[in-house]
Chains A and B, each alone.
Chain A
């Protein structure tokens, strides 16, 4: 089953298919069982039907037999005159409605004897006397059979030759003269019976709509049958011969042998049927009842069709119900999906489907509602936060501007002074940096310069930096040497320094006339001394602590004499600790090489070149710390140079 079909489709498919399968199995079994039950019932019914008919026939035929035998016994027990004999025959015919005619046919005593066979029969309600003067009766079946067998027998059915062309049969029985222990045949008593009632009765046996009964004589001759042309013309054996059906012949033999059975049968029209047959004992005939299978099964089929129709309707209803349920599940889900898509686009005002049930979909919808409101709240909070952040950022930008404004940015700073030149550059890592540099003339011949790195970053660092810068500048202008400046500033800063911020500071005062540099280092990176002879050397370590960390610290004053052409390069740890993508730091060594590379270039070009090296090194790695570079070039006075 394709997984991309909708839930509804899959539900319908699976449930309908399963339903149909189960239903078909039940229906099939039901049909099979019904058929069996019907067949059993049919056999029972067939037997009942046939037996009741047989009994009705038998009652009539037996009474005729009894009457005929009664006449014979009367003739044996007494001597009858001609008139008495006629009276007996008349009474027999008159009093027995079933008997059409009665005859006493006497066995001729000699070949020359006169035939004597008085016969009475009914015609139009009247009794007709036929004296029967020929010996024709001696050749009649009814006479011969009883005579030769010496017992009561029924003839095969025959067409009566009294004009009416009715089907008749004759019951005949011998009567004897018993004298002196010997028994001599005197004649035969015969009763003719019209079989109209019998054929009518058999024809009236209604078996469903198209079923029927038929009667076979002892010879297998068809006595009654719905097909008129078969009556008396065909025997079951001639039918078998015509159909070349040995099975039918075998069946016919069983039938005329007085057996009874219930079996499948193909009738003369080739219809599949069931046949029940039973003998009519007194005449040795066979009554057969044909049940057309199609019609029998029609009921089962009809029932099955009804079942099928009901089942189909049921399955259809089931399918509709499934559609309904599936839709009740998928519709809120689809609505949820739609709403979710809207939410994903940022539309938090979209209406979620109403929760109408407490089922999983309801729970899901409730969860979605909670999620939506949470998201909405979160997003609004986020919006607020973002706005606040943006405000702060804009303030930071302002702070950055202020900070940058604090830093002297006019280069060359002292265009009228030729003893030295100075160039500085700061690249803050965040908008507001913690690094700063400053330089100013303390007096006419002394240039004070500072490079510092405040711990931390951002606004607090910037504020601390502004404070430190102001303090350093204010202190330096009072003419204190660098160590004193750092000590004083340290004391100022460390007092009430709740934030424990500090600043590494390198502060130097250059005598622009002599090139004598006095400096103090408050925990800052050691600057480099670029001698005019193209030598780069680190300033010696002076071991001072960071400014602002602890009150009452003193700093060592160091001295260095700058020759004209010497340069001093100051920087913050943002340079040496700048990282590349491989998380390697720029390092002192690279800085040294970088400085060597830019020797001989102009001041600004040198600083820019170093900055370029750092940037090239860092590549795409983000700048993690402020980068500040400052380079002082000492030219010396014209006097000293002179």
Chain B
């Protein structure tokens, strides 16, 4: 149980939050005066701790404090955040970098305004009992692949190891894998992997391939907006990013409260909510969002990560050209 003891950074964060609260009352008043800017945001998926920072910021009034009357559109299997962003149904969207690059390549003028998840959390999970020990052992096996852009990292993995696998479309459950319908399943470390564990399979019964360990560290959830949105109101984009990052800070500083908030939103969305699962997810998100002790690159898309991702996509023939990093990743700055 880390975090039960007040560590020095913990106290600092708490103090910072307290100060923010103090500021909030003042700025909230001024925000009310200048009227809140309405904005919409769609995460990648339905409410879960993967997006705890955003929901926490919403719930704790952090967006309002930053002058934004934010609406979070609950994602889910029937909601594509890329489509929402493209069509303008959402001002801001969370997208994987691979998706965003594809969108960009296909002509959608979107820009990365923040990179939340720095590391790839994707993994291929197999049962040790199936005899798979190395990536090569996956050759010819049935592998569950998510649809669309979520298949990109896995396909890059197969390409890297020259594997020909039987691709089986994988839904958002892992039941097909659990029943033995496929040999390997796509899984996110923070989500499906834990679901598999909590379906009664012990970690030592599994052989997992972390894509980031195989040279495929594709940064995942980033915040995106259309170029014109940022151009029209750079303040809004900047405030949205600041508030979102603040929300994440708050969630990591108060994991139990963040999980409570998350479960509340999940219940509202009538989504089965499991506290332990959300706890696990939030903890893993922290590992992925702040992978380095020095917190370097927090919230920003690293240029080398960008370059590595672009290279993988180029090689896979998914994108034809390399977008300029400065065009693609813009840290919007407040006008003042």
- Beta-carbon contact of A219 and B181 below 8 Å: no
Q: Is the CB of B198 within 8 A of A238?
A: yes
Give the segment of B98-106, B125-133, B270-278 that binds chain A: B270-278
Q: In the bound complex, how far is the Cα of B147 from the Cα of A139, in angstroms?
A: 10
Docked complex: B129-155 residues within 8 A CB-CB of A:
142, 147
The interface size of chain B toward A, counting residues with CB under 8 Å, comes to 26
Binary interface encoding of chain A residues 125-167 relative to chain B, with 1 for a CB under 8 A from any of its CBs, else 0: 0000000000000111100110111000101100100000100
The number of residue pairs between A and B whose CB atoms lie closer than 8 Å in the complex comes to 75
Chain A interface SS verdict (over half): helix
A253 CA / B181 CA spacing, docked (Å): 20
Contact pick for A233, options B182, B197, B272, CB 8 Å: B272
Q: Is there an interface contact between B182 and A148, defined as CB atoms closer than 8 Å?
A: yes
A220 contacts B142, C-beta separation under 8 Å: no
Taking residues whose C-beta sits less than 8 angstroms from the other chain, chain A's interface range is 20 to 34
Closest to B266 in A: A233
B200 CB-CB contact with A under 8 Å: yes
Task: Classify the secondary structure of B's interface with A.
Answer: loop
Chain A residues closer than 8 Å to B274, beta-carbon distance: 233-235, 238
With A139-B169, A144-B181, A238-B274 already in contact, the answer to whether A155 and B175 are too (CB < 8 A) is yes
User: Smallest CB-CB separation from B175: which chain A residue?
Assistant: A141
Contacts A141-B176, A237-B197: A165 and B273 contacting too (C-beta < 8 A)? no
Would you call B200 and A153 a contact (CB within 8 A)?
no
Q: Which residues of chain B come closer than 8 Å to A156, judged between CB atoms? A: 173, 175
Q: Give A147 to B273 CA distance when docked, in angstroms.
A: 29
Q: How far is the CA of A332 from the CA of B171 in the complex (A)?
A: 99
A527 at the binding interface (Cβ < 8 Å) = no
Q: Which of A232, A233, A249 has the most CB of B within 10 A?
A: A233
CB <8 Å contact, B181 and A235: no
Q: Does A242 contact B (CB under 8 A)?
A: yes
B34 within 8 A of A: no
Q: Which residues of B contact A219 (CB under 8 A)?
A: 175, 178, 199-200
Tell me, rounded to whole Å, the shortest Cβ–Cβ distance linking A397 to chain B.
118
State whether the Cβ of B179 lies closer than 8 Å to any Cβ in chain A. Answer: yes
The yes or no answer to A241 lying at the interface (CB within 8 A) is yes
> Which residues of the partner chain B approach A253 to less than 8 Å between Cβ atoms?
200, 202
Chain A CB within 10 A, most for which of B147, B178, B198, B273: B198
Q: How far is the CB of B120 from chain A (nearest CB, A)?
A: 23
Known: A242-B275, A252-B200, A253-B200. A149 touches B175 (CB 8 A): no
A202 interface hit (Cβ, 8 Å) = no
Known A232-B272, A238-B276: A148·B176 in contact at CB below 8 Å: yes
Cross-chain contact of A138 among B169, B181, B200, B270 (Cβ < 8 A): B169
Tell me the minimal C-beta distance from A568 to chain B in angstroms: 137
List of A residues within 8 angstroms of B175 by Cβ: 141, 145, 155-156, 219
A575 within 8 A of B: no
Q: Is A256 close to B, CB under 8 A?
A: yes
> Once bound together, how far apart are the Cα atoms of A155 and B173, in whole Å?
11
Cβ of B173 and Cβ of A141 under 8 Å apart?
yes
Known contacts A140-B171, A141-B171: A149-B180 contact under CB 8 Å? yes
Interface residues of B in 263-285 (CB under 8 A from A): 270, 272-277
Tell me the smallest distance from the CB of A308 to a CB of chain B, in Å: 45
Minimal Cβ-Cβ distance residue in B for A140: B171
- A144 touching B176 by the CB < 8 A rule? yes
| B198 and A256 within 8 A (CB) | no
Chain B residue with minimal CB distance to A241?
B276
A153:B270 contact, CB within 8 angstroms: no
Q: How far is the CB of B314 from chain A (nearest CB, A)?
A: 26
A375-404 interface (Cβ within 8 A of B): none
How far apart are the CA atoms of A241 and B280 in the complex, in Å? 10
Q: How far is the CB of B131 from chain A (nearest CB, A)?
A: 18
> CA separation between A283 and B273, bound complex, in Å?
24
**Which one of A156, A219, A249 has the highest number of Cβ atoms from chain B below 10 Å of its Cβ?**
A219
Q: Shortest Cβ distance from A224 into chain B, in angstroms?
A: 15
B253 within 8 A of A: no
Whether A145 touches B176, Cβ cut-off 8 Å, given contacts A232-B272, A233-B274, A242-B275, is: yes
| A463 CB → nearest B CB, Å | 128
Given contacts A155-B175, A156-B173, whether A144 and B168 have CB atoms under 8 Å apart is yes
Q: How far is the CB of B46 from the nearest CB of chain A, in Å?
A: 13
- Which residues of chain B are within 8 angstroms of A141 by Cβ–Cβ distance? 171, 173, 175-176
Distance between A258 CB and nearest chain B CB, rounded to angstroms? 12
Q: Chain B: residues with CB nearer than 8 A to chain A?
A: 142, 147, 168-171, 173, 175-176, 178-182, 197-200, 202, 270, 272-277
Q: Could you list 12 examples of A-B contacts with CB < 8 Å?
A: A139-B170, A145-B176, A145-B179, A149-B179, A149-B181, A220-B198, A233-B272, A233-B274, A234-B274, A236-B200, A237-B197, A252-B200
The list of the 3 closest CB pairs from A to B, nearest first, reads A148-B181, A219-B199, A237-B198
